[in-house]
A = this chain, B = another copy of it.
Amino acid sequence: MDFEFLISDLNKNKNLFQKAIGTDKGLAKIGDGIVNLAYSVAKSSYLTNNSKNIIRTGLKVSKTILSNALKNANLKDFAKNRANAHDLANTVEALIAYVWLNNNITLNEIIKLLIDNISGDLTIRTEEIKNATIAFTNLLNHLKKFLPRETKK
């Protein structure tokens, strides 16, 4: 992708700190699109691979899944203080958009990472939530190395 300029202000900033990325509303909006598209294709692929039929589907990934993934991956430092589930989910979306716009991961790689980490029977809603949370936790763990380590004091 050629859209790295959309985060040049964040990359240029020598005082770059974690919350500046994790609480950016525009990044979260772009990340929302990445998360939903990637999960839709990953879920369709997983269901198709475990079925005799081809199954195409799509789903808006719930705030619960994303906020729990952020906690499991120990990335709450990127979220704002006293963040609720909605805020934490936005932080996940912002972090994914940041790494994607920085060309450190492609959409294809995100989808494959999700597929590799999905398991169980996704047609049972509670099981889907549990397994999608694991898949997004593993995705975030993979993205960690592309995120800034310093926190502004």
Contact = CB atoms under 8 A, between A and B. Distances in A.
Given A37-B37, A44-B26, A107-B107, A32 B3 contact: no
A70 to B, nearest CB: 19
Contacts of A55: 26
A6 B59 contact: no
A144 interface: no
B3 A30 contact: no
Contact of A54 (B1, B2, B8, B53): B8
A9 B55 CA distance: 10
What secondary structure prevails in chain A residues at the interface with B?
Answer: helix
Contacts of A30: 37, 40-41, 44, 56, 58
A6 B48 contact: yes
Interface residues of A, number: 36
Given A3-B44, A30-B44, 17 more contacts: A1-B107, A1-B108, A2-B108, A3-B111, A5-B48, A8-B54, A24-B56, A27-B56, A29-B58, A29-B59, A30-B37, A30-B41, A30-B56, A33-B37, A33-B38, A36-B36, A107-B107
10 contacts: A1-B108, A24-B56, A26-B57, A28-B58, A29-B59, A30-B40, A30-B58, A32-B58, A36-B37, A37-B37
Interface of A: 1-3, 5-9, 24-30, 32-34, 36-38, 40-41, 44-45, 48, 53-59, 107-108, 111
